[in-house]
Structures are given as C-alpha cells and as structure tokens.
Structure 1
Amino acid sequence: MPRSRTTALAALIATLALGAGCTAPQDTTATSTRPRTVEPVAGCGRASWTDPADRSPGRTPARCDKGAPAPRPLKRHRTLTVATGTLGAEYVAPLRTALAKGEFAKEGLDVRLKVLPTPEALPLLAKGDLDVLWAAPEAAVVNGINGGFTIRWVAGNFSPDPKSRSGLWVRLKNGRTASSVSLRGSTMGTMIGKGSVIMYPMARSFATHGADMNSVAFQQLGSSDVLTALTGGGVDSAWLLDPVWRRVDGDRKYAFLGGQPQGEPLGGALYGPHLLQQDPDAGVAFLRAYIRTVNTYFADDYKADRAFVAELAKLLKVDAATLTAVPPLRMDWEIRKGTAERLQKAYRDAGVTKGPPLPENRLVDRTLYAEAVGHRP
C-alpha cells in the first residue's frame, strides 16, 4: 500500500491497542492454553498432511477423501462473520461453495460474509468484531501484530496451476527476449500496493532481471488501466491478474517473467483472539467445513465439470467462459514453512514494515487445521 496509508494504519493500530489496554507485544502464543485432544479422522490419512518444508512446485496438495473430514456439529450454535476483500474472486470460491452446499451449517455455524479491505478489517478482527479475515498476511497484518494484535494466519488458500501466467509481464523492446530483459530503471504498473503479499514473488522476478524494489518505479493503477498502460507504452511492465493476462499471452511483443510460486499459498484464513483463544472449537469447525469443501468440490481440476463451473459462475457472478479461460487454482489449506519469513523480507525491502521480523509462531498457527484432519505432530 502507499506509504501514507501504511502510516495511517500504523497510527490506527496504536490507538486501538492503547484503547484495548495493550502495550508492547507480549503475545508469545495465540492458541488456547487449554489442552486439546487431536483424534484420528476417518477419510483423512497420511495424504491429509504434507511436510511444511516441502516447497517443490510439483508437490501434491494435502487431501482427504471426498466428504472428509465429516461434520462434528458444535453443541452450541455459533454465528461467525468473515471479512473478505471481494465476493467474486475465484480464491473465494470454496467459501461461497461451502455456504451454498450447507457445509458450515453442518458444523453448527451460521457464517456471514462481509466485504471489507484488509486495512479496515484488521482492527475489527483484533477487537473480536470480526471472526475470520479471508485475505493474506500482508504488511498491515505484520504491523498489527507488532502493535499488539493477536492475529494468526491459520490456513492457506491456493497456489497457481503450472499453466497459469498470472503475474509479471514486460513489454519487449529492441529485439530483447524474456531472458535478456533488465528491469532496472523501468516503470511498473500494478493495482496492488507495496504492502501486498505479491511483493514477495515480484521481488524474486526483479532479482532475476537485474533490479530491486528501489530501482523500479511503481505506478499504482485501477484494475481497468493496468493492461492499457502496458500495451499503450505508459509503463514498461505490469502485474496482470486472471484473466487479463490472456490478452497478451502468445503475443511476441510481451513476455511473462514470473508469478506466485507454485505449491506455496500466500493467503487464506486469518483468526483473531476470538477463535484462537476464546472459542477454538468454532475455529476448528470453520476450517473443517472449509477443508471438506476443498476435498469434495475442488480436489482436482474442478473446471472439467461443466455443471460445477456453471454453479461457480452463478455464485461468483461471472461468466462461465471467463472462469474456464484460465487454469483452475490449486486449492490448498496448508501453509509452507518459511513463507512468513520470505514475505516479511519483501515488506522490509519495500519499506512498509519496520523493526525485527516476527518469528513464524507469531504469525502462523497450523494447529487448527492439523486438528481438523486428525494430524498429531
């Protein structure tokens, strides 16, 4: 995000922390202090958990059988409010499907979706006015935790299909090829600010092409202007999302330099103190329904099923042809080891976070999805 928004958010975080009686971060663990029993789960065998250190692009995501883990209805009904930046993006499809198919209801949960950008949702999550933030551990999250907020990234969302070319595209000049392009001194168009998780894969592409965060001029544009700026010569490169990149794919005047790492989710579910400490049973139930939805409807190439694509298109309010124009996402509820560290390095390099990096256990908690699939470390 622009530096002015980052500064304003930091001030808001400090104000809310003081109002809640928080001082310097003292949160060494965000999970409930009550011991939790993790039992084997039918239909979730060895394939339901993968080594977090495995970052191989061809890694098979964790999977249970279709319909697993089975519902375990809570003894007392809960209403949970989930904030997300959009209801129409494909990465929100498992949530929309879980609601439509009654998977949350089977757990005794009444889940309500609310559209809010991360900077606005974050203080509400920390105060308990929101239960779940379906987003990413952006720079605002890191700053919030450093400011005293009890927030953890508790489940992943997706990684790209190998055929996806959503990411950094460059306009080729003077007979250059993708391998010979230098981005140093260039301008880049993006609708995403410097506080986004996309800064991590973007920095990797910069390094491959002779640049860093300080040698590229960022130009933040509206969603409808990014492609126009690239093709019209207003910027040298641009971060193109699904399905916009299809407009230049195959055109020799442009080259794809890289996108989100395969096999490494960069977003998903973030919990605040309510589901982490006060009601972890509901926190596990939410993830159980989400994981069951992935296993039942998104385990493989879900876009090969025309009837399901039609359902998704209706839920997301997009054209079915738009959905099938790009490869399916690889839905993945797990979080890779070291992702939090790599994200924080990108934020520090971009100048949107300050102070020492958070240790992984201050930002990530895998115990709730582990319990949902019956994995005992």
Structure 2
Amino acid sequence: MKRTWFLATVTALVAVLLSGCSQQPGPAGETPDGAASGSGEIAAVEGCDEGADFSLASDVENGPARCEPGAPAAVPLDEPAKVTIAIASQTGDYAAPYFVGVQEGEFEAEGIDLDIQVLPTRDALPLVAGGQLDGIASANSAGVYNSASQGVAMRMLLGQGWIAEESLAGVWARGGDTEVADLGPGTKFGSAVGAGSAANVDLFDQAQETGVDMKGFEYIVVAPADTVLALQNGSVDAAMILDPFWLELQDDPDFTRIATSVPAGSDNGGFWGGPSLLDRPDVAAAFVRAYVRTINTYFSGDYKADAENLEIISAATGVEADAIARTPSFVFNWDVPTGMTDAHQEMFIELGESPYAEPIPEEELVDRSFVETAVGRERP
C-alpha cells in the first residue's frame, strides 16, 4: 500500500482560510468559482437494491443504507488517475476504509492511484485550496467551514457515520453525578480542537437547553491520548474523550459521561472534494464508488466481530487487531445527514468560531450526486 508522509509548509494562506477575524467571507448563497456538481445519470446498480435506500441512511434502528458486499462493481476510468488526499489520523476508525480500500485494491480497480497523506486538517486545508491535495477526510471543524466561506471550491461528497450505542466516547466530567447544567464560566474544557470541533454539538445542544454559555469555557488543547490524564489530575474539568481512551474511565465512579461525540443518526464529518477533484467529475465518481464498495464489503454491521476483517484492517492501518476490537464497531454512513452542516455552523457562529453571521446553505457545501450515481438511487 502506498502511503506518503510529509510535513506541510503552512503559508500565509492558512491565515486567509482559517482566521475569520481579518477577512470577510463571501456572501452566503454564492457558489465558489470552480465548483463542479453532478456525476452522471442515475441508473439502477446491481447489488444496490432496497438496502441502499437513502431513507435508511440515518435510520438508527434499521439503517444505515448498504449495498451487497462487492457492490457497486468497479467501472474503470478510461485513463488511470492519481488522487491525493489528506487524513488527520491513520488510527481512527473513520480513517480505516481509505487505507483498507487501497490495500485491498478497491481504488485501483477504478483506475485510481490513491495517495494518502497523514496531515492535521489545519495544514491540509490550504493545500486543498491550492490544488496540491484533491480532498480531505476530516471532521467538520470551524476551519473547514471557514475555508468554504472564503471561496474555496470544496464540497462534501461523502458522510462518515456515528459511534455505536455501546461506545462511550464523548464528553466526560470530573465528579460522579456531574451534569451539563453544572458547567459554567471558567470551566476548563480539554480537547484536541477546542471550541471549533463538530464533536461538541451534543454538548452544545444540552448547554443551550440548560442555559449554560459555552463561550465562557476555558478551552485547553490536549492531545487525545492525554485527555484522560488531564481529567484525572484536575488540569481540566471536562474533556472530549475519544475511542479507545474512554475505556479507562467507564468503571470509575469519580467521572461521568455527560455528552456523546456523535449523536446516533448524525455525523461529524466526511470526505470533502477540493477543486482539483471536482474539476474531474469522472474521477470523483470513481473515487466515491470505490469508497462505498469498501464500506459495503468490509465495514458493514459488527465488522469488528469478524476475525478476518480485523486482520485486514490491522494490516492496512498498522493498529493491532486486539486494539481495534477493544471498542465497538463504528457505524459507517456514506450519506451526509440533512441539517448537519447547519447544526455545526450555528454552533460555531454562536461560539465566535466563524466570521460570518448566517450558515452557508447546505446545497452550497454538500454534493450528493456522486454517491447517488454510485448506488443507483436518488436521495429524496
């Protein structure tokens, strides 16, 4: 499997894209120049029948939507294409399909030579804008939306999914009976991203309901692997604890989980295609098809219960199979839930993380046409 590692040079473009205070964003409702939409006519796809119905996509009880393993079949490009994307982590569950898809030849079957760069989202965004990267698999941080508001022609082509009900990833607080209502001004909140993380949505919604103002929090940047220690030693009062680190707290009566990181049926991120990919709609369609097929083949249901699957994922990601199996299977969803981008932006605007006053409309951020074509079904 091809994996290239590099340290991106962060130029002045970072300030233009990610800093909202010194630049005025383009008006909401304006489509950035260079954005492409549409991937062809929608026709029935073998193996993608009732189970691939988009009505199941965010259905917690009966979904998400799925085709049969191996579907949709590859449709090789007339000419091979190189696609370079960035992912913030190689070890997170959300990242596994990209690495497995390369290892198992799913992208190659489409004629795509996929090069995965492991880069922080902040470093990757200016490279997407400049065309050095074709896209980014990322959580929808404030920086992603701010980049789009500055006119970067990028569209969310694929969703990501949500954590299983059994997973206790989310916001944990000190104290055995602490509730969101107990938080307030001066609360030290630890996370890898801070107030600009889409993982804060459930906490934000509860805070809104109980009258807690999250703008009064003191946001402390803590690496995911260090969040439990920071909580235990009192460096922070509450923290975003991701998989698998919550396992250290689940039986400790001195700590309480007060919010999830991804509400079931919703999402925190997905794949954003940049201008250099959107300008090649046939390549974007092939990329999306390979990803969807990878999900259907290797990441359906309780995929971590399959020993052969675990070995495949372990070999692709470099994570030991036993470590992968410690946490519940992630619920992958290729769809982008309706209203998700609005919910994220409303939070970021309220917390002062976005420089614009009204959310950018979903239709200017999301393009579902490629996944519709891949599975042969129109999204209602």
TM-score range, shorter chain: 0.7 to 0.9
Q: Give the structure 2 partner of residue 369 of structure 1.
A: 371
1:36 partner letter: G
Instruction: Give per-residue Cα distances to partners, 1:17-55, cap 9 Å, x unaligned.
Output: x9xxx9878426976477822211011113213238x75
CA contact (8 A) 1:29 1:362 kept: no
The question of whether the paired residues in 1 share the 8 Å contact of 2:181 and 2:207 is answered with no
Matched to 1:270, the amino acid is: W
- Match of 1:67, SS state, is coil
On the 8 A contact 1:182/1:209 being kept in 2, the answer is: no
Moved more, 224-233 or 71-80: 224-233
Q: Deviations over 1:215-260 (max 9, x none)?
A: 3222222334321121112222111111110101022111111211
Deviates more, 1:95-104 or 1:122-131: 122-131
Give the CA deviation at 1:182: 0.9
1:42 maps onto 2:42 in alignment:
no
User: What is aligned with 1:143?
Assistant: 146
Q: Report the equivalent of 1:269.
A: 271
Alignment of 1:281-292 (within 5 A): 281-292=282-293
Structure 1 match to 2:160: 157
Shift of 1:210: 4.6
* Secondary structure in structure 1 of the residue aligned to 2:182: coil
Q: Which whole-Å CA distance do the structure 1 matches of 2:378 and 2:351 have between them?
A: 38
Deviations 1:122-151 (A, max 9, x none): 122123221121113321122112211111
Q: Deviations over 1:55-92 (max 9, x none)?
A: 55435111001110000011111011011112222211
Query: 1:48 is aligned with what amino acid?
Result: A
Q: 1:371 to 1:35 in 2, by over 3 A?
A: closer
After superposing the two structures, state which structure 1 stretch, 363-372 or 208-217, moved more.
208-217
Moved more, 183-192 or 354-363: 183-192
Give the corresponding residue for 1:296: 297
Aligned twin of 2:118: 115
- C-alpha contact (below 8 Å) 1:24/1:148 kept by paired residues: no
Structure 1: unaligned runs, 5 residues or longer? none
Change (3 A) 1:159 1:32: same
Alignment correspondent of 1:70: 73
Counterpart contact for 1:9–1:140, Cα < 8 Å: no
Percent of residue pairs bearing the same amino acid type: 31
- Match of 2:31? 27
Distance 1:156 1:209, change over 3 A: same
Q: 1:34 to 1:203 in 2, by over 3 A?
A: closer
How far apart are the structure 1 equivalents of 2:284 and 2:85? 12
Q: Deviations over 1:292-340 (max 9, x none)?
A: 0110111111111122212322322222222111111001111110000
* 2:184 pairs with 1:184: yes
Q: Indicate if the aligned counterparts of 1:57 and 1:261 stay in contact, CA closer than 8 A.
A: no
2:329 alignment counterpart: 328
Give the RMSD, CA atoms, in angstroms: 2.6
SS at the partner of 1:214? helix
Q: What's the counterpart of residue 132 of structure 1?
A: 135
1:11 matches 2:16: yes
Which deviates further from its counterpart, 22-31 or 355-364? 22-31
- In structure 2, the residue corresponding to 1:82 is in which secondary structure? strand
Distance in 1 separating the partners of 2:39 and 2:331? 33
1:157-197 per-residue CA deviation (whole Å, 9 max, x = no partner) reads 1211001110101111xxx6255861123222222222221
Structure 1 residue 10, shift from structure 2 partner: 4.1
Matched ranges for 1:76-95 at <5 A: 76-95=79-98
* Alignment partners' CA distance in 1, 2:344 and 2:252: 32
Q: Take 1:31 and 1:131, find their aligned partners in 2: how far apart are those partners?
A: 13
Name the counterpart of 1:312. 313
Alpha-carbon distance between aligned partners in 1 of 2:336 and 2:34, rounded to the nearest angstrom: 17
Alignment of 1:176-215 (within 5 A): 177-178=177-178, 182-185=182-185, 186-207=187-208, 210-215=211-216
Given that 1:184 and 1:210 are in contact with CA atoms closer than 8 Å, whether structure 2 keeps it comes out as no
CA distance in 1, matches of 2:327, 2:196: 26
**Contact 1:49-1:62 at 8 Å conserved across structures:** yes
Do the aligned residues in 1 keep the contact of 2:184 with 2:214 (CA within 8 Å)?
Answer: no
TM-score by length of 1: 0.88
How many residues are treated as equivalent by the alignment?
361
Unaligned runs of at least 5 residues, structure 2: 1-9
